[in-house]
């Protein structure tokens, strides 16, 4: 079963909901303002539970986070999911940067532990060459994981690296290039890993494009573990939304 996650932007997030009219002379407590951040955090917790902790037929250990296109940001979702998973004390969690073009996940933490000088020669043990960024949470830079950009499509290299990750970490969340890119490695990585979480944009991702990517994932025997719909707008009060 594929988990679905919505990352929202609320057009009325800063506007308090109106209270209902008094009944029998007793005014009801006003509704809370819609908290988009809290809702998104709840959605990420749900995704983590379904994919990593309660996955069917088995929980996933290595998951690729990718997007439908370069205009859809997925690095922050990958990071937040890793932080939630690490907070669950489920074991050692690794955040892997595999998008050598943007390195958005890596840059969100700043420099690596050895100031970005890690390489294929110095990255023998992935955990030793990674940076601990929280309790039970490590960041593995693109240089440590891939060595050089050409290794992104080298099956022998990637299989070796994924094997090291399984030995050194309990879970790995891999930030990859967009799945919609013709020469990206996301689908290839998804095939080697336990599956892929795909991020879409509510206003930019065309339905046809999403369907093509889904067909490509199926053809490559990649498990689509979850979808993330970014920038979805909920212009209604939370109370009404919860009833839908």
- Work out whether the CA dihedral 197, 201, 205, 207 comes out positive or negative: positive
93 located within any domain: yes
How many separate domains does the chain show?
1
39 located within any domain: no
CATH number, domain with residue 226: 3.40.50.300
15 located within any domain: no
10 pLDDT tier (thresholds 50, 70, 90): very low
80 located within any domain: yes
Write the CA distances from 94 to 62, 82, 115, integer angstroms: 9, 7, 18
> Which strand (E) or helix (H) includes residue 80?
helix 75-87
Query: Is the distance from CB of 238 to CB of 13 less than 8 angstroms?
Result: no
Which residues on neighbouring strands pair with residue 23, listed in sequence order? Answer: 26
Domain range enclosing 219: 58-230
47 located within any domain: no
| 95 Rama class: left (phi>0) / alpha (psi -120 to 50) / beta | beta
Q: What is the pLDDT at residue 83? A: 96
Measured at the CA of 232, the angle between CA 74 and CA 9, to 5 degrees, comes to 85
Q: What is the pLDDT at residue 191? A: 94
pTM: 0.78
24 located within any domain: no
31 located within any domain: no
Question: Rounded to an integer, what distance in angstroms lies between the CA atom of residue 149 and that of residue 154?
Answer: 10
90 located within any domain: yes
Tens-digit pLDDT profile for residues 123-159: 447 888 899 999 999 999 999 998 876 676 678 888 9
Cβ-based neighbours of 28, under 8 Å, separated by 6 or more: 19, 20, 22
């Amino acid at each position: 079963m594929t988990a679905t996650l919505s990352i929202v932007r609320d057009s009325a997030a800063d506007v308090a909901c109106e209270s209902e009219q008094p009944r029998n002379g007793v005014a009801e407590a006003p509704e809370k303002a819609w908290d988009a951040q809290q809702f998104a955090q709840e959605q990420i917790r749900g995704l983590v539970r379904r994919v990593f902790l309660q996955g069917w037929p088995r929980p996933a250990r290595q998951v690729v986070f990718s997007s439908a296109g370069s205009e859809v940001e997925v690095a922050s979702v990958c990071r937040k999911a890793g932080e939630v998973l690490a907070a669950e004390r489920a074991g050692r969690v690794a955040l892997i940067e595999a998008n050598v073009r943007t390195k958005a996940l890596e840059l969100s933490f700043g420099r690596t532990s050895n100031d970005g000088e890690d390489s294929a020669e110095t990255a023998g043990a992935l955990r030793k060459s990674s940076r601990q960024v929280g309790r039970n949470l490590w960041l593995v830079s693109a240089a440590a994981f891939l060595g050089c950009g050409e290794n992104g499509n080298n099956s022998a290299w990637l299989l070796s690296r994924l094997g090291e990750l399984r030995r050194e970490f309990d879970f790995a969340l891999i930030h990859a290039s967009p799945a919609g890119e013709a020469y990206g490695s996301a689908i290839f990585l998804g095939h080697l890993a336990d599956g892929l979480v795909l991020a879409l944009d509510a206003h930019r991702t065309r339905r046809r494009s999403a369907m093509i990517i889904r067909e490509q994932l199926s053809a490559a025997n990649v498990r689509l573990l979850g979808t993330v719909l970014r920038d979805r707008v909920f212009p209604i009060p939370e109370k009404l939304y919860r009833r839908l």
